[in-house]
Structure 1
């Protein structure tokens, strides 16, 4: 049984998948890590890349799905590691020491959740800055589910959870990753902030491409956990925070 399952979800991802796979290979993960690719029946060259690197992939499937979060649910169901870590096409493990550092933490400081900051990068791989600095979302070093009342504090690529406590993703909600993190945090007894960066996060994902629906879905998620009235007030605060952040920059 591996300690860690790294899961990559793909759909027509030939432009970006290779950088994700190569970041895994650079870490020389060994038997303690399994790597899964869950593909949504891609029509481009994605599967050619999968076959090219098949020796580094523990298991892959390609079949129609109901979207990103349906595929992520499939990944969780197929995973056998003690922990799950989603690193989707275009995202990268931060550097060649990251997996070794993470496994050391898991062995010596067992926890239900590990999290860190994320380095934003553009399509060319150019660094744009740490998420906690280039967005209004500061990163607490003692994270709880209540810290998510005004939105996502940790991107899911920098959030690793014990598989035994993870819930299913909310398939038809574009902010399902916020809901998933909140539910993980509610279930967790021990949550550890890591003082090293876990990932490079490729900006411009689904929530950006369908921004209006993503905001509406985020409201549904936050209202589910914090109540409608509190969420309405917090959205006023979110707008004020965004304005202050923009002027400060």
Structure 2
């Protein structure tokens, strides 16, 4: 059976955390490890997480919840900590405020991971994302959607798969930690590097063909939009070259004027 490590990063997240935890608790899928990596919150975040752990344990649903709260260097430092603790076949990051859309979400992901005898598990499983507000109300489908055939080159045109809908094989993810020199766009760089490694190993990237994440609109990237765009340019330049990145951004600018 496929196993999943769900990593939730928190810091003073008491206002948005509970729906995230509830969405993991309601998963019908049994083989789930939920790692809550907290940055030494000073509000009720840890208490909420501990109450959730007790509820999950009492449900005897097969889920294993682990909580670690200590100071860290920021979001991507915490994500690296979660990566190193993950033991599932696949790891996915579901941060405070984000959530699984339905009880059968992980069942659908596991189904997409199925392979025949002698075949290796796909390097990445990826799906679609809906955008929600802080109360969980549906706002829209994510503007960028994953192509049927995804490669690391696909991200030249933007982050076509939302980070929360990107399931990386844990053995690959562990050797490719997030680059903490980026403050807002290390997730883009990480996804590209994971896909590159998958191609190097001749592994599949498989489309789940389902909405697998509800993404809360007001994240760090939204709040720091200008800085995020600057970092994304550096990520694109790193992976696709300066000339190609400049040409693409010129096209993006022209397209926005035409619209």
- What's the TM-score, normalizing by structure 1? 0.91
The alpha carbon displacement at 1:171 in A equals 1.1
- Counterpart-to-counterpart distance in 1, 2:145 and 2:106: 24
Equivalent position of 1:143 in the other structure: 150
The correspondence for 1:63, drawn from 67, 70, 77, is 70
Structure 1 unmatched ranges of 5 or more: none
The correspondence for 2:251, drawn from 214, 223, 237, is 237
- Counterpart-to-counterpart distance in 2, 1:90 and 1:118: 14
Aligned residue pairs total 240
Equivalent position of 1:92 in the other structure: 99
Equivalent position of 1:205 in the other structure: 219
Equivalent position of 2:189 in the other structure: 179
Structure 2 unmatched ranges of 5 or more: 57-63
Paired residues of 1:150 and 1:238 also in contact (CA < 8 A): no
Equivalent position of 2:127 in the other structure: 116
The correspondence for 1:126, drawn from 131, 137, 155, is 137
- Counterpart-to-counterpart distance in 2, 1:139 and 1:241: 20
Query: In 2 relative to 1, CA 103–225 (structure 1 residues): closer, same or farther, beyond 3 Å?
Result: same
Equivalent position of 2:235 in the other structure: 221
Q: What pairs with 1:4-43 in structure 2 (closer than 5 Å)?
A: 4-30=4-30, 32-43=31-42
- Counterpart-to-counterpart distance in 1, 2:125 and 2:237: 25
Please state whether the residue corresponding to 2:125 is helix, strand or coil. strand
The alpha carbon displacement at 1:139 in A equals 2.5
Q: CA RMSD in A?
A: 1.6
